[in-house]
A and B are shown apart, each in its own frame.
Chain A
Amino acid sequence: MSAGQERVAPLPPLGGLGFARWAWRQLTSMKTALILLFLLAIASIPGSILPQQGNDPLKVKEWIAGSPSVGRLLQSLGFFDVFAAPWFAAVYLLLFISLIGCVIPRARQHWRAMLAPPPSAPRNLDRLGGTVTLDVNVAPAEVLAGAAEYLRRHRWRVVSGPAVTTDGAQWVSAEKGYLRETGNLVFHVALLLILASVAVGGLFGWKGNVIVKEGGGFANTVTQYDAWGGGRFVDSDSLTPFSFSLDSFDVDFEREGSQRGAPKYFEAKVTYRDDPAAPQQESVIEVNAPLEVDRAKVFLVGHGYAPHFVVKDARGTVVFNDAVVFLPQDGNFTSTGVVKIPDSEPQLGLRGLFLPTALIDKIKGGQSVFPGPDNPAVFLSAWTGDLGLDTGMPQSVYRLDSESMTQIGLGTLRPGQIWDWQEGSGSVMFTGFDRWASFQIAYDPGKEGALISSALAITGLMLSLFVRRRRIWVKVLDPAGATTVVQVAGLTRSSSLDDIDLGALTDDIDALVREISRAEATPKEHL
């Protein structure tokens, strides 16, 4: 996509084919490519300002709820999912079509140029400017042979002129830097390959999130995920059958300084197996160190607390005994969650606030002041009645639908404490807490391709920017003369008129001139 000249499109000739040709020429013109590049940049901007469905669906909901009319309009136009929007796709697809339309003819042209010998010397080298003329005491054939040998040694493609031309001159013509255009083409093709790799990842890859408590396990089936999404060609019934369990989760927080409360490290110790028949293996998953199982990768993306409760009913039978995942609400892990006990009579529900380092303020109420469990406490509100689980409507495990329930009390508990909510009608004990970790598990078959294509793109880019395409001619003006008059001249073929090209060419010419002059200083064999 970097044709040297602007193509001036003629007026569209009549007829469908003529118009198609005209449209194609317009689309593949450099100016169109430029405009499409700008459009691509501008089209990306809303994706960085508005919340995006793919990154933060909750924020999108909030945004639309905040200003419904504008929100719905923006949503229908795809502004909350810019990078999947048809208009965004239109821009990059047009850009890629324009790219293909430019790369193909240029590749053909480059192929021909690679096969063709360097062009013969122009009649008048003086016209090129920067020409060096020197008078040497060496036979013309020797000068030209020496120059050709020197140029070949420096990896120029060299052609020698005819023994006798119309003006009697003999010449050597050389060209170098074909890799510039090769690099340019490789770069643009690599961009297409990156796009293809992204598409492969999108169609054949999948990604899911799951929360696992300490001591808990996970097997790779869609039903075990909290959220899962896969490409069109993924068979969600036959995911790779690996499994793992979270043996323990360790975390430590900064206690001093301005970054107090920031995590110092966290790591999840897991035991896993590639498939149910495979032997167990142990591993530690950290933030920058995912676990790779059967081409899928397990990433540690979050963590939190799971307070453990033992609930008894009026008769003293244990109706609930488990750790419950509470979701952190702030940097100090003030966490909320609910306990649902459908097996008690009547049904019971608990709403809870877990504070790892509780500070109880008379006015603000309870809050956590440090993410580590220095002084854990839970605030509970207990509800009795119908949990609404039998309606058939799916319910979130993190929300208690208290519409048909009545509150029976509020309690504050430290580890080991018991709260009897109504004399003899039941109790809850806060026995302590486990930790949980959330994992993102992803399989992307396109990523290796994307990586290789990117490496190819960078290589091609560097060749296309740093290699200088240039020609040099050495010409003996009057082979029959008393001394040999040699002219050396050159041309750069870069389209950006960069003076570094000219600098490189000047250096080449100077080096060649030195080489020719040196030949004169050495004793001659035939005079």
Chain B
Amino acid sequence: MTTSALAQASNAAIYATMVSLTFAMVAFAVSFAAGRRRVPAVAASVGVREGGGSVAVLTRPSDADEQPEAGRRSANIAMSLTWLSFVLLLAGVVMRGLWAGRVPWGNMYEFSISAALATLAAFLFLSLRSDIRWLGLFVVIPVLLTLGMAVTVLYTEAAQLVPALKSYWLVIHVSAAVVCSGAFTIAAATAGVGLLKGGLERRAVARTGSSDGVLARVPSVERLESFTNRVVAFSFPLWTFAVVAGAIWAENAWGRYWGWDPKETWAFITWVIFAAYLHARSTAGWRGTKASWIAIVGWLAFLINYFGVNFFVNSLHSYAGVS
């Protein structure tokens, strides 16, 4: 394939991804609407009882979690469309890399499509292990927004890397950061769903004595929080690694491993917030709602680091390729 054909194919694949994801979003939304039903508040009871002190007592979750038929079909369609989107996006990113003749992480357009790919990959990987179709809507929306932003605001033609980026550390540092972007997004999504569900439940219980059904098919708030915790527990060491790898690279490129460049500062802030999240998870009174908010704030700090620092602050990391 010639480079211009690769370019066209890559762009076409990205657009096709967006179309397919839009349909996935609609299907996820339909499955939500169809899943609306009334359930007694007890149905959302805790799967884990707290024992004495910090000791948890094992209670086996009942396997017979009833699956409402309504909405299942559209959720399945949505999952298939998400798989299709993933394949299309993977093709788009790979062709972008072939077009540029390097890893596709040279500017913000490429970071963004890779981050979108990482988010979808994280979601689909987790979906193989447990049924998280309820999460789909909240993953597809940020991915679509990211891709939309990528093709409109951030788009740049493929070009050679500027010398500062010519290092194998690009692959190590950026791949870790891109995977974290996906994981943090998922964590923020589950934290957000948990907060929403918790809020709706409290309101519905206060008003009618039973919880409302919009999020009935979503797991219990405690399970959502536990899910968020798992994702953060996975991404926090990886983020630490990404920051350390960045520091090693900075030492090699700029002569110092840490210089409080705005990008470094916000990476540090993100790190501190997620550290606070993990501490909050083991502090009484902070474990639930507050911890969820911290996870969301951490994700926002990550976004500020990605978009804010690249666009509004003069940083050594200004590789946006957008002027």
A residues in contact (CB < 8 Å) with B: 1-6, 30-31, 33-34, 37-38, 40-41, 44-45, 47-49, 52, 54-56, 59, 82-83, 128-130, 198, 207, 254, 257-259, 262-266, 286-290, 297, 299, 301, 440-442, 444, 447, 450-451, 454-455, 457-458, 461-462, 465-466, 489-502, 505-506
Contacts and interface: CB of A to CB of B under 8 A. Distances in A.
A82 B226 CA distance: 36
A382 to B, nearest CB: 36
Contacts of B273: 37-38, 41
21 contacts: A3-B282, A31-B286, A129-B57, A129-B59, A130-B59, A258-B321, A262-B160, A262-B162, A264-B163, A288-B164, A288-B249, A447-B257, A451-B244, A454-B247, A458-B240, A461-B236, A465-B236, A491-B51, A492-B58, A493-B55, A497-B287
Given A48-B265, A128-B58, A440-B254, A287 B237 contact: no
B163 A495 contact: no
B159 interface: yes
| Interface size band for B | 35 or more
Contacts of A505: 58
B58 A258 contact: no
B244 to A, nearest CB: 5
Residue with the highest number of chain B CB atoms closer than 10 Å, among A49, A258, A301: A258
Contacts of B169: 288
A495 B282 contact: yes
A207 B258 CA distance: 13
B230 interface: yes
A-B residue pairs, 9 tightest by C-beta: A4-B54, A130-B58, A259-B159, A299-B255, A288-B167, A37-B276, A48-B265, A48-B262, A495-B54
B255 A501 contact: no
Contact of B230 (A461, A493, A500): A500
A207 B256 CA distance: 9
Chain A binding surface, main DSSP class: mixed
Given A207-B255, A257-B159, A287-B166, A457 B55 contact: no
B58 A2 contact: no
Contact of A499 (B47, B260, B285): B47
A56 B316 CA distance: 11
B248 interface: yes
Nearest to B322: A258
Interface string B15-41: 000000000000000000000000000
Given A454-B244, A492-B58, A34 B279 contact: yes
Interface of B: 47-51, 53-61, 156-157, 159-160, 162-164, 166-167, 169, 223, 226, 229-230, 233, 236-237, 240-241, 244, 247-249, 251-262, 265-266, 268-269, 272-273, 275-276, 278-287, 301, 309, 313-314, 321
Most buried by B among A44, A49, A497, A498: A497
Contacts of B223: 499
B279 A1 contact: yes
A198 B283 CA distance: 30
B279 A458 contact: no
Given A299-B254, A506-B60, A254 B159 contact: yes
A77 B230 CA distance: 41
A4 B50 contact: no
A82 B259 CA distance: 12
A490 B48 CA distance: 14
A444 B58 CA distance: 51
Contacts of B256: 207, 442, 444
Contact of B160 (A41, A254, A288, A440): A254
Contacts of A506: 58, 60
Nearest to B254: A299
A129 B61 CA distance: 11
B260 A83 contact: yes
Given A461-B237, A499-B48, A41 B269 contact: yes
Nearest to A494: B56
A455 B230 CA distance: 22
Given A263-B162, A287-B166, A500-B230, 19 more contacts: A30-B279, A33-B279, A34-B280, A48-B309, A128-B57, A129-B57, A129-B60, A207-B255, A207-B256, A259-B156, A259-B321, A288-B167, A455-B244, A458-B244, A489-B58, A491-B56, A491-B57, A497-B226, A498-B229
